[in-house]
């Protein structure tokens, strides 16, 4: 006997269809209807963390990846500003702490990310930018994503030599107007700070075999091809 299954994503359709087909046997075929909760779509989300030191071109590559795959860009800085602008409970709590010169605790940041995930449940996946920055944040993010039946799919880390980074940033400083782009010593400190902050997070995801180092030197398109190649391999 063959079972024929019908899948519906619209809860409003399921009752009428189920009533019509329940108990019907047509030419030896059992007709069954299943309702698939839309939130289960999170199971097939592709979520990535993109690492890249100052001057690596991470911003440019993020924009291209979002355009190609339809990822939702999650920058903790943008989320924080949005929550404060909208006057949410978490935004007010964060603003109060910032006004006192205190750092926003991980629990508040994770709460904001939770809100962003729930508000964008139908996207193809998330591109995390600027988060996580510590091992504790990485563990908290993993737990949150697990609650949503999803996970970080891959961590792509752009690798560019320090000499090349300094050259790029000094060149950018000619037109960017940023004071931290014109001093080689300051640029060096920024690169070292990046390496310190990301080392623990990279180690966390290396244990899960999710870190891939991407050559960050070459043309924009060449680097983008390296990134998309790694993503495509994991989407099959």
Other Cβ atoms within 10 Å of 159 Cβ, number: 13
Catalytic residue from among 41, 64, 162, 172: 172
Of 68, 81, 89, 178, which residue is the catalytic one? 178
- Taking a C-beta distance cutoff of 8 angstroms, is the pair 93, 108 a contact? yes
> Among the options 58, 72, 168, 210, which is catalytic?
58
Angle at which helices 76-86 and 89-99 cross, to 10°? 100
Distance of CA 19 to the CA centre of its chain: 41
* Residue 81: active-site member: no
Please say if 58 is a catalytic residue: yes
Q: Kindly name the residue from 41, 64, 114, 133 that is annotated as catalytic.
A: 133
Q: Considering the candidates 72, 168, 190, 210, report the single residue annotated as catalytic.
A: 190
Q: Is 190 assigned a catalytic role?
A: yes
Can you name the residues that pair with 96 across neighbouring β-strands?
none
Residues designated catalytic: 58, 133, 172, 178, 190
């Amino acid at each position: 006997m063959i079972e024929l299954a019908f899948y519906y994503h619209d809860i409003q359709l399921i009752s009428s269809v189920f009533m019509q087909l329940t108990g019907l046997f047509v030419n030896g075929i059992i007709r069954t209807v299943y309702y698939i909760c839309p939130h289960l779509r999170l199971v097939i989300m592709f979520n990535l963390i993109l690492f890249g030191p100052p001057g690596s071109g991470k911003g440019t590559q993020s924009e291209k990846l979002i355009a190609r795959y339809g990822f939702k860009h999650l920058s903790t800085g943008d989320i924080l500003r949005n929550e404060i602008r909208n006057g949410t409970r978490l935004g007010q709590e964060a603003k109060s702490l910032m006004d006192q010169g205190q750092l926003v605790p991980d629990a508040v940041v994770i709460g904001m990310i939770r809100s962003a995930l729930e508000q964008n449940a139908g996207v193809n996946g998330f591109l995390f930018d600027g988060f996580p920055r510590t091992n504790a944040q990485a563990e908290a993010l993993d737990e949150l994503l697990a609650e949503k039946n999803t996970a970080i799919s891959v961590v792509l880390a752009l690798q560019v030599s320090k000499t090349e980074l300094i050259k790029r940033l000094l060149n950018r400083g000619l037109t960017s107007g940023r004071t931290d782009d014109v001093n080689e010593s300051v640029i060096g400190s920024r690169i070292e700070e990046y390496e310190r902050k990301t080392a623990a997070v990279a180690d966390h995801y290396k244990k899960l075999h999710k870190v891939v180092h991407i050559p960050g030197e070459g043309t924009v398109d060449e680097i983008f091809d390296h990134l998309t190649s790694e993503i495509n391999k994991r989407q099959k």
